[in-house]
Amino acid sequence: MNKHIPLTALKFFRQAAQTLSFKEAAEQLFVTQAAVSQQIKNLEQSLDVKLFDRLNREVVLTDYGKQLLPYVVKGFESFEEGLASLGDDPNPNLLTITTLPSFASRWLMPKLYNFQEQYQDISIRISPSLKIEPFSGTKLDLAIRYGKGVYPGYKSKLLHHDYLLPVCHPKLIDTTKDIKSQMANIPLLTDEGVDIEKAWRPFMEIVGIPINTRPSKLHVGDSTMLIEPLLGQQGMSLLRYSLIYQLLERKQLICPLACYFQSGYSYFLVAPENHFKYAKIKNFHAWLKEEMRDIDTHWQEFNGGKLQEISIDVTG
């Protein structure tokens, strides 16, 4: 096999394979049908395999052609994406964001109308996901993630540090009696978040809650799914202040122990470096920072020096 394969031949192969017609491929490439046929023939000779079966009025991919096609498509998409990244925003009026379902539903979605009032020419598409979505080959502009800020291949910008605190429904706690002994009899509601899953045992040890706390029968993948069970008096949980501060303010949930901790994880904006040059992302970033000041304002009022910060590191 000849290791030096011309890109032109691969380009012609992609077009012919996607249309299954040398004639249509020639029209789309603005060349003659004979030129397409010759390039495919040269490619087959270089690879020493047959890529197409030529029938009377059509061509079909052989097994070799089917095997090669996705790699060629992916390769050209990478070329095109790389070239596009050097230029302007291809979709200046559409902002596509992926973020955690909890952050999307509990904080971002209720506030987005404020952004859209300021920037009425920008449409927004939200894709909730527990994992960072690939930017390659998609129209994704930006990710909002909760982590340590290290995302290989992408640039990250710190948005907000958050706090974790124990919460439950007020009816589960009698404030005239010992709080910790009561908490030992309340089921734990847990999620698989990077900051919470490893935090329960060290948290209970530090604050002095017996380790034999009733086991939870509810484990979820994202903390937003714990809100309704908490409001339904089904147990207690550790949650991020940013997701529940309004519920605490309305006294629908309480923090039974006067303590909190920072896990070592924070909210970050994540994207290819070039995306941060887009006007829509600059505007969205500035808007996010301004809106998140509301969390800090409420935190100062809620904490007021009354809560003790404890040290728990779950990033290791």
Residues 199-240: pLDDT tens digits?
878 888 888 887 655 656 566 767 778 889 999 999 999 899
SS3 content of the chain, % helix, strand, coil (to 5): 45, 20, 35
At residue 263 the predicted structure's pLDDT band, cuts being 50, 70 and 90, is: confident
pLDDT the model gives residue 13:
94
The residues spanned by each domain of the chain are: 7-85, 94-161+266-297, 164-262+300-309
pLDDT the model gives residue 241:
94
pLDDT the model gives residue 197:
67
CA angle centred on 170, ends 167 and 173, rounded to 5°: 90
User: Among 3.30.365.10, 3.40.190.10, 3.90.25.10, 2.60.130.10, what is the CATH number of 164-262+300-309?
Assistant: 3.40.190.10
Per CATH, domain 7-85 is 1.25.10.10: no
pLDDT the model gives residue 15:
92
At residue 264 the predicted structure's pLDDT band, cuts being 50, 70 and 90, is: confident
pLDDT tops 70 at residue 269: yes
Q: Do domains 7-85 and 164-262+300-309 have the same CATH topology?
A: no
Taking the C-alpha atoms of residue 299 and residue 87, their distance in angstroms, rounded to an integer, is: 41
At residue 279 the predicted structure's pLDDT band, cuts being 50, 70 and 90, is: very high
Q: What CATH number has the domain spanning 94-161+266-297?
A: 3.40.190.10
Taking the C-alpha atoms of residue 147 and residue 268, their distance in angstroms, rounded to an integer, is: 7
Instruction: State the SS3 of 222-284.
Output: CHHHHHHHHHCCCCEEEEEHHHHHHHHHCCCCECCCCEEECCCCEEEEEECHHHHHCHHHHHH
Looking at residue 107, what DSSP letter applies? I
